[in-house]
């Protein structure tokens, strides 16, 4: 488990918001830190890809509409994507409990995110001082090296500790919880993905009549038992019908210019 915990810790650092190694935000924050992708990677490391993908899908639904306006971090998705999903897999209690764990760890992860921001301001101040002295080496160290060392320590160490030691105790801890607590976690874990989808719909749907397409997809999946390929085909046909055959907005007739009622002499 030492190697597995170390690999998950390294992935947690590579997927951090300010990590530059995987093409910046493109390969890190916007790729491997998406729970759907990280669930597969963590499941591959822990030897249970199927469970990792199932938990990743459930967690992704919760945070599918999460935005970080102005640097505000409602939950640290990086800790959700790696240590939380890893503990969810190791707990063996299913995706609902894993979602509840992920939501808790994600909120707690904002503390470390804010600590990193505070430490980065310290390194920025040292870089300014080095700039005033004309110290090129000091500028490089305080603007590029030490902030990344701080970021690595604040990502790798908590993730490694959580996965390495949590692997030994998480299953026993979950089994020791009262049934009512597990029931509550199952209920909350089942509700949270619906909340994430609802937030996404609220952001992208401007006209409430568009909800009919969401309901059609729901009926196709739940009652007609269509797979994703069939659902994509149905969605493409509905999109074609909507954009090609929707009624045009009524156009107002141009108003005639006011005539001059005065007689000309």
Tokens at 177, concatenated: 């919880």
Confidence band for 255, pLDDT divided at 50, 70 and 90: low
CB atoms within 10 A of CB 264: 4
Tell me the CA distances in angstroms from 201 to 59, 198, 204, 214, 238, one per residue in order: 17, 5, 5, 9, 17
Is the pLDDT at 171 greater than 50? The verdict is yes
Closest CA relative to residue 45, chosen from 97, 95, 83:
83
**Which pLDDT belongs to residue 174?**
66
CB atoms within 10 A of CB 182: 17
Closest CA relative to residue 92, chosen from 63, 50, 127:
50
DSSP string, 8-48: HHHHHHHTSTT--TTTTTTTIIIIITSHHHHHHHHHHHHT-
Q: For residue range 2-61, list pLDDT tens digits in order.
A: 888 899 999 999 988 888 888 878 888 888 988 889 999 999 999 889 989 988 888 888
**Which pLDDT belongs to residue 265?**
46
DSSP string, 62-121: HTTT---GGG--SS-HHHIIIIIHHHHHHHTS-HHHHHHHHHHHHHHHHHHHHHHHHHHH
Specify the range with the lowest mean pLDDT, choosing from 2-11, 75-84, 125-134, 166-175: 166-175
Contact 4, 163 (CB under 8 A): yes
Give me the residue label for tokens 């105790």. 169
**Which pLDDT belongs to residue 253?**
56
Confidence band for 261, pLDDT divided at 50, 70 and 90: low
Confidence band for 89, pLDDT divided at 50, 70 and 90: confident
**Which pLDDT belongs to residue 258?**
55
**Which pLDDT belongs to residue 42?**
92
**Which pLDDT belongs to residue 80?**
87
Q: For residue range 189-240, list pLDDT tens digits in order.
A: 667 777 777 777 777 777 777 788 888 888 888 888 888 888 889 889 888 8
């Amino acid at each position: 488990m030492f190697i597995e915990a170390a690999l998950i810790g390294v992935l947690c650092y590579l997927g951090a918001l300010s990590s530059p190694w995987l093409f910046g935000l493109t390969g890190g924050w916007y790729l491997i830190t998406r729970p759907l992708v990280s669930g597969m990677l963590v499941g591959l490391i822990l030897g249970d890809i199927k469970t990792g993908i199932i938990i990743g899908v459930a967690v992704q639904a919760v945070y599918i509409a999460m935005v970080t306006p102005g640097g505000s971090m409602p939950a640290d998705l990086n800790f959700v994507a790696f240590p939380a999903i890893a503990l969810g897999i190791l707990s063996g209690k299913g995706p609902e409990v894993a979602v509840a764990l992920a939501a808790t760890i994600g909120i707690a992860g904002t503390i470390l995110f804010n600590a990193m921001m505070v430490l980065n301001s310290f390194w920025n101040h040292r870089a300014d001082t080095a700039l005033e002295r004309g110290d090129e080496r000091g500028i490089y160290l305080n603007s590029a090296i030490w902030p990344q060392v701080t970021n690595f320590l604040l990502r790798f160490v908590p993730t490694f500790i959580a996965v390495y030691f949590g692997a030994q105790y998480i299953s026993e801890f979950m089994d020791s919880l009262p049934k009512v607590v597990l029931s509550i976690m199952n209920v909350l874990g089942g509700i949270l993905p619906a909340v994430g989808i609802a937030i996404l719909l609220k952001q992208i749907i401007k006209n409430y009549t568009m909800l009919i397409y969401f309901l059609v997809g729901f009926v196709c999946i739940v009652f007609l038992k269509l797979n994703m390929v069939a659902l994509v085909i149905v969605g493409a046909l509905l999109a074609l019908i909507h954009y090609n055959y929707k009624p045009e907005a009524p156009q107002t007739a141009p108003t005639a210019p006011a005539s001059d009622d005065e007689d000309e002499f």
